[in-house]
Amino acid sequence: MTPFGRRLRELRAARGVTMKEMAAALRITPAYLSALEHGKRGRPSWRLVQAIIGYFNVIWDEAEELERLARLSHPRIVIDTSGLAPQATEAANILAEDIAHMTPVEIEKLLALLKARKRRPRA
């Protein structure tokens, strides 16, 4: 499941909307909606994210959060380390090999480190 898929499922559950109802309203198939929720499909298009925002009638911060989660929800990513230090390539490859075997606590620690790094001003 992707971060976007998890949030989408939470919104549906909170509003008591079935996947079939939501899919019909958005003019997509329930199978596609299910695949989005479960991370079996790539990130949704900007247009679909906007339709979902409108469907749930969310505004401001919650809408921005859905857009952010959609950007971060591609289940298959490529990390280009060309031109970077050898350690960057090593780190990317180790992460690719080991992420499926990491515990939720280990992933949370890694995520916290990356988020803290992103908040720091860039030199």
What pLDDT score was predicted for residue 123? 63
Q: Is residue 80 part of a domain?
A: no
Predicted TM-score (pTM) of the model is 0.71
Q: Are residues 7 and 66 in the same domain?
A: yes
Tokens 């299910």 -> residue: 34
Q: Is residue 115 part of a domain?
A: yes
pLDDT value at 107 more than 70 = yes
Q: Is residue 93 part of a domain?
A: yes
- Contacts of residue 8, defined as CB under 8 A and 6 or more positions apart, other chains included, come to 36, 37, 52
Q: What mean pLDDT do residues 47-56 have?
A: 96
Q: What mean pLDDT do residues 105-116 have?
A: 94
How many distinct structural domains can be found in the chain? Answer: 2
Structural domain boundaries enclosing 60? 3-71
pLDDT value at 77 more than 90 = no
Residue 98 banded pLDDT, cuts 50, 70, 90: very high
